[in-house]
């Protein structure tokens, strides 16, 4: 069996349980075949420009897995990570051209760190290794590896959405990015609509030919493209829910909110997650459906995220102000409409919190998939499940059709859906939940990993010229 080499911006220690669904999936895959997980250590050092390329590899072995990391110079952190990854690619891919900061130094740093990664990974590779690269930080990595003579199968999975072609074309380096993608053997995306955006982009901007069997031909390369919606580890989550802390949390929440109907939101504090719009929709609900006053409480947990970036600081202040205003305007001595918690909640507590909630509000303006939606469903009591209100702009909406789908920009429509969720009869709740569970069980994280890796093997077997073309 081939050894798996995972490359992602950050590496999670497989021994730590807090890591979340993706880390679980990757850890499982690595432990089966043995392998390497390579990424940035999260540490930076201050040094002269460009010195990052001299950072050595730190290695640590955990069971059959070798963790290999590099440090980044402060300059690379600012240009590659904050600059190009999170001030260009993240906003543009989430349709927020207004927040993008195009700066040629960012693109240079992005390329430099991808080269550094390639230089450090290449000597670790064995001829039979299969390489799986993750996410927007590392789009050009395969091209850099190929330039060094790497002929291993290389797959790429993009966790965030693909924007419509014209929005993609606003990135000054879009042609270079796209050409780089063709150095992979397989590009996996979250949804069919992401796939169509990529195919349309490649057809219009690069004259690519799309074969209905899932292959794109351009730049003298053949690239397999497919949708592999990421799933969750339903079993792992169920055992967390049944563990003592999960049960304790559930009991405490149910007791605390015994006279209320609880709504829950769990997100990173990110402008893609539609948090201000969610508070506005909840405000609309209290205004126009007054029976919910003194009854419905929204707990919004928003984990701090990318705090070194200005757009996130602005969002934080906006949320403080919106939550303060709704509580000031509607709160009573014995009831506050919104409990806003700007902190991370330990993963082992999440199932209890989800299960105590009657309704989950998962209303991003744009999201690759959104695993919170799936986790909420997996944590419910099948005999008395809560209701998922889900943005149609989350990748998860393509699969989770039995949720109440909303347009998060429309506060009136979202408020109506919340009202419907709060008053939904038990029979309908059970029916919807059971259909949704069938989907998330079938397309779980193990399905995601194995179907991606099988497709990668197949892509290499069926298009042998793909690797040869780049040499």
Shortest Å distance, C-beta 364 to ligand ADQ: 8
Q: Of the two residues 375 and 419, which places its CB atom closer to ligand ADQ in the complex?
A: 375
Ordered DSSP codes for 295-331? TEEEEEEEE---TTSHHHHHHHHHHHHHHHHHHHHH-
CB 55 within 8 A of CB 116: yes
The position carrying tokens 């397989």 is 186
Q: Of the two residues 118 and 246, which places its CB atom closer to ligand ADQ in the complex?
A: 246
Report the Cα 26 to chain-centroid distance in Å: 14
Shortest Å distance, C-beta 344 to ligand ADQ: 5
∠ CA 366-415-305, rounded to 5°: 35
**Footprint of ligand ADQ (CB under 6 A):** 20-22, 159-160, 230, 266-268, 301-303, 344-345, 350, 367-372, 375
CB 361 within 8 A of CB 418: yes
Shortest Å distance, C-beta 437 to ligand ADQ: 17
Q: Of the two residues 174 and 342, which places its CB atom closer to ligand ADQ in the complex?
A: 342
CB 54 within 8 A of CB 119: no
CB 238 within 8 A of CB 378: yes
Shortest Å distance, C-beta 133 to ligand ADQ: 14
Tell me the catalytic residues: 159, 367
Q: Of the two residues 133 and 208, which places its CB atom closer to ligand ADQ in the complex?
A: 133
Q: Of the two residues 76 and 267, which places its CB atom closer to ligand ADQ in the complex?
A: 267
Q: Of the two residues 265 and 337, which places its CB atom closer to ligand ADQ in the complex?
A: 265
Helix (H) or strand (E) holding 246: helix 244-256
Ordered DSSP codes for 79-93? IIIIIIIIIIIHHHH
Shortest Å distance, C-beta 426 to ligand ADQ: 27
Shortest Å distance, C-beta 186 to ligand ADQ: 16
Smallest CA-to-CA distance from 165 within 126, 220, 207, 132 is with 207
**What is the crossing angle of helices 21-33 and 445-462, to 10°?**
50
Smallest CA-to-CA distance from 41 within 73, 19, 16, 15 is with 73
């Amino acid at each position: 069996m081939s050894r798996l080499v995972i490359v992602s911006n950050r590496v999670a220690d497989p021994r730590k349980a807090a890591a979340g669904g993706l880390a679980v999936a990757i850890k499982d895959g690595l432990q089966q075949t043995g392998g390497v997980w390579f990424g940035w250590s999260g540490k930076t050092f201050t040094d002269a420009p460009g010195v990052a390329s001299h950072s050595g590899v730190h290695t640590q072995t955990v069971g059959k897995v070798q963790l290999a990391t590099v440090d980044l110079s402060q300059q690379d952190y600012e240009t590659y990570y904050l600059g190009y990854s999170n001030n260009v690619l993240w906003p543009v891919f989430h349709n927020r051209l207004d927040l993008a900061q195009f700066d040629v130094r960012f693109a240079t740093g992005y390329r430099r760190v991808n080269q550094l990664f390639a230089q450090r990974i290449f000597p670790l590779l064995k001829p039979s290794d299969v390489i799986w690269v993750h996410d927007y930080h590392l789009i050009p990595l395969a091209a850099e590896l190929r330039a060094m003579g790497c002929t291993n199968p290389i797959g790429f999975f993009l966790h965030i959405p693909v924007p419509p072609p014209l929005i993609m074309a606003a990135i000054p380096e879009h042609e270079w990015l796209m050409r780089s993608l063709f150095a992979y053997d397989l590009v996996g995306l979250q949804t069919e609509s992401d796939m169509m955006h990529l195919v349309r982009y490649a057809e219009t901007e690069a004259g690519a030919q799309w074969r209905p069997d899932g292959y794109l031909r351009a730049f003298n390369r053949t690239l397999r493209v497919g949708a592999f919606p990421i799933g969750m580890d339903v079993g792992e989550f169920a055992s967390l829910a049944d563990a003592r802390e999960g049960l304790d949390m559930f009991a405490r929440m149910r007791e605390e909110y015994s006279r209320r109907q609880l709504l829950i939101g769990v997100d990173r504090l990110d402008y893609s997650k539609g948090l201000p719009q969610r508070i506005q929709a909840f405000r609309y609900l209290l205004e126009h459906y007054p029976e919910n006053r003194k009854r419905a409480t929204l707990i919004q947990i928003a984990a701090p995220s990318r705090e070194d970036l200005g757009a996130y600081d602005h969002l934080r202040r906006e949320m403080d102000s919106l939550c303060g205003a709704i509580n000031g305007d509607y709160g009573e001595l014995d009831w506050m409409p919104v409990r806003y918690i700007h902190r991370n909640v330990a993963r082992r507590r999440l199932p209890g919190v989800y299960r105590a909630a009657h309704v989950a509000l998962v209303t991003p303006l744009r999201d690759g998939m959104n695993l919170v939606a799936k986790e909420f469903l997996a944590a419910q009591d099948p005999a008395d499940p809560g209701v998922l209100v889900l943005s149609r702009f989350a990748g998860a909406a393509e699969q989770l059709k039995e949720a109440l789908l909303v347009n998060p920009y429309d506060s009136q429509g979202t408020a109506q859906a919340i009202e419907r969720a709060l008053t939904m009869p038990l029979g309908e709740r059970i029916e919807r939940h059971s259909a949704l569970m069938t989907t998330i069980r079938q397309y779980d994280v193990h399905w995601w990993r194995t179907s991606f890796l099988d497709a990668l093997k197949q892509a290499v077997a069926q298009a042998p010229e793909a690797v040869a073309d780049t040499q």
